[in-house]
Amino acid sequence: MKLTVFGATGGTGTEVVKQGLRAGHQVTAVVRDPARLAVAGHELLDVVTADVLDPASIIEAVAGRDAVISALGPRGRGPSVICRDGTRGIMAAMAAAGTRRLVVVSNSGMHTEGDSFFVGRMFKPVLIRILRDGYADMAAMEELVRASDLDWTIVRPPKLNDRPRTGRVASRVGANVRGSFNIGRADLAGYLLSAAADGSLAGVPVSVAKG
């Protein structure tokens, strides 16, 4: 596949780029600071320096691609609009370029569908209060994505960690995975790549967790 990755300098985005290249995909990494990109010098890697908030600057980076993967995420716990505004810019660029497939990373923490009574009614309200700013940004992003006419998939992981890839990922369309509350960024990245190639996941939110 020909893929474009946003958020390529973050933990998940870095894994998407690395695994995509290892799988033989042609990967375009869109970054603001190329010096922060952990991967360089690969024959299948193109690095584009651009601002995701400026759709005109990223049209060429998404044109002709089979899929776009966004691993944008807020940094810290303060107010953030990077997911909302960055994804709005990505979608505008995709519309201009005629690119259809979009996979975005959100979170399962702000959703309670499928959760047990304790998790959904006792634990999640506390978590949502603590992480309310980042969750508000991702909720606004999800609303934008769901309202678009792109072939989108929203992937909702729980707490992320940096454990090695296991290849064991549990997933559930439209509801959270029960009994598993974390996932490695490497496993999440692997799922994002497989989801990008899976047309049956277009138009649905999918929760994932360690399998």
pLDDT, tens only, 166-198:
999 999 999 999 989 999 999 999 999 999 999
Statement: the pTM of the whole predicted model exceeds 0.75? yes
Task: Give the span between the Cα atoms of 184 and 160, in whole angstroms.
Answer: 6
**How far is residue 47's CA from residue 156's CA, in Å, rounded to a whole number?**
27
pLDDT in tens, 31-82: 999 999 999 889 999 999 999 999 999 999 999 999 999 999 987 777 889 9
State the average pLDDT for the chain: 94
The CATH fold of domain 2-210: Rossmann fold (3.40.50)
**DSSP element (H, E) containing 59:** helix 55-62
Alpha-carbon dihedral sign for residues 160, 177, 1, 204: negative
SS3 per residue for 174-201? CCCCCCCCEEEHHHHHHHHHHHHCCHHH
pLDDT at 124: 78
Domain boundaries in the chain?
2-210
Structure tokens at 130: 């603590």
Q: What is the pLDDT, as a whole number, of residue 119?
A: 79
Q: Return the SS3 of 22.
A: helix
